[in-house]
A and B are shown apart, each in its own frame.
Chain A
Amino acid sequence: MLGAARRQLGSGPMLGQVLRRLRPAAVAEATRGYSAAAKEMTVRDALNSALDEEMSADPSVFLMGEEVGEYQGAYKISKGLLDKYGPDRVLDTPITEAGFTGIGVGAAYQGLRPIVEFMTFNFSMQAIDHIINSAAKSNYMSAGQISVPIVFRGPNGAAAGVGAQHSQCYAAWYAHVPGLKVLTPYSAEDARGLLKAAIRDPDPVIFLENELLYGESFPVSAEVLDSSFCLPIGKAKIEREGKDVTITAFSKMVGYALQAAEILSKEGISAEVINLRSIRPLDRAAINASVRKTNRLVTVEEGFPQHGVGAEICMSVVEESFEYLDAPVERIAGADVPMPYAANLERMAVPQVSSFSSILYFLLALAHIV
């Protein structure tokens, strides 16, 4: 029924303006205005500075991965680190994900703090046995004797035109496993704070970055630039306050959600945007508090819809705040297909700003608010 309504309204003239496609560059413009700080920092610089500071503070932290040393990082995240810390602490590995991930885990068993970089998280599938069986489960199997203070980081999700095998989102896969913490930063502040917290954390952390966000600039306050700045793991951030509908998103989709919220505000709908930051542990308290305030929820993710992050959030809300929902929870996700290569098909396979606002509009129309 909703699907039919969606298609009907989709053809209406009123939505012509919200069906406009925005270029990626416009994302930055839309989000720039919301913080009052002066300095700007790209996500890339934020990650680099976080790595630098943590390696400087604790000599047992080391970085390993493909191209992290002499190539300065496949996406230049580890630029300058080899010169500063030497080849003993910034290791270029051979192309052996299973092997070097296991080596990182073994080193963590013995008290070192490795950061294992995957060139993309798609390659982590070659090492997933070690991430799950040797890292995530070890503290439990050994009844607390052996903890694994390791960080697995790298770009996750779709980039531009890289095809099916380089474009999958792994948030739901890793968030399924007890014993792992899964973090998904969005802005430069998130990237710095969460990476520092991840490195200091005594448990295995999956740190899912996004390639298309690396070059994006975000305003950062002086507090963020301090070397002791850290964000707590397991706490979401309300990026934009609102009262009509809650939108939860993570990673790149936060930018899209903020754009959609901007568009909706012009229609008189005030949307609350939650940047999840942490997929496991999920900040259920914040999500539920927000839903109790707005009574409507839309979850947004880039990955495949079935068994995804949105499904878990929906269930959490149904379990805890069912009576507060005025409408069914809506889920916006990527298309349920492997990522196609053709540019127009790829655009269709990933959520676009227009799809959010159109769905939101339908929901609110059904609830007779608009």
Chain B
Amino acid sequence: MGSQSEGKAVFDTESAKEVVKELRASFVAGKTKSYEWRVSQLTAILKMLEENEQPIVSALRDDLSKPELESSIFEIGMLRNSCRLALKEMKHWMKPEKAKTSLTTFPSSAEIVSEPLGVVLVISAWNYPFLLSLDPVVGAIAAGNAILLKPSEIAPASSSLLAKLVADYMDGSCIKVVEGAVPETSALLEQKWDKIFYTGNGRIARIVMTAAAKHLTPVVLELGGKSPVIVDSDIHLKVATRRIIAGKWACNNGQACISPDYLITTKDNAVKLVDSLKCELEQFYGKNPLDSKDLSCIVNSNHFDRLLKLLDEDKVSSKIAHGGERDETNLKIAPTILLDVPKNSLIMKEEIFGPLLPIVVVDKVEESFDVIKSCGGKPLAAYLFTKNKKLTGKFVAEVSAGGLVVNDTTVHLAEHNLPFGGVGESGMGSYHGKFSFDAFSHKKAVLYRGLGGDASLRYPPYTPGKLRLLQALLSGSILRIIRALLGW
């Protein structure tokens, strides 16, 4: 078996050492390198998803009250796609890439060979516990690594189900799950890994990176930030509103790293926007959203209290334009819109990660860019709704974020040709599609040369003639080389 469950034994530094030792032995033995092994593991994940859709949906309902559709599509559906893409493309990804060689190293040939990094650690998050655990694992498998997965303890039903399913379906000597919280994660972080892939928040990311530094371990950090949405006037407001709602409340009730965090719009547009949001929200969730089955709940009382703190702050609570209802027993907060909150309020300083949507009002839409820049670190995503090509151009050129979407929200996540990752505070590295394969690979440069004789100019004793020839050779200019060879 490959997993350890809480309560059975204490998972400490010694246990962590043992687990890593076993994974390293499997890797060194070459188990994970073959194409056949990789295919078998990816196929196993597909089978796992096929045969366990209901238990997965159930676990997500227990942890987050996640609506079935969100579980089926955003967790299972996306994961399935990831596996299928990897199975289809893996042979191609694994092939060495030819590299050009120049006159200077003639005759030679060169290529770049992908090799697995070795033994990797994947630490996942609670909001999309299956997707964010297994999607990086798909990349790590495709690249030929041995893997330890540490799911988030904040989604306990999902963590426990993951541990069981991985043990039942996958090669336990090469892919393991360790459940637990801070002590277990700390024990794992003390070990030497060849790569650490972390999804979560900036505070823990710093701890992960500091631990990685001790062993010179490279990391991918998928974090978050305040993803802004600029809403211009003269657009198809209904469509824009629905897409904003889909990205905010239909994504785990705002608890997603790329959910719209706040909106920016002009004074003239603000009221229309709020009305449109109110109208569509009612269409989607009914008059009493706290009763709607289509909204996730807040994951736990810590986060529930955190969100209420943001909402109930002086000068903020008076700005509620819609919603604000809460149900403490069921950890539910209704979709809430706030209009014109003060810039220095908590809700505008921290990533909200919940169903509260502040709207910042500006005089001219171009001022939005300054608002975004003053809002702290670079976000994971930024969105713009407009028909104005010039504004679009400025947005794309000036707003720095992990990824941008114009006239929609969050859908770029599903496009595997686009690298998904952050910049600055929102993270480093990227994945999805081939980028996942690359994230867990070392790209080894290989140069092939022949032994058919050498230009003496390479070697001492050095003469001015050799210097001239060397200069010519490095310049790559054929004419110059000929001249130097002829002694001119």
On whether the two chains bind one another, the answer is: no
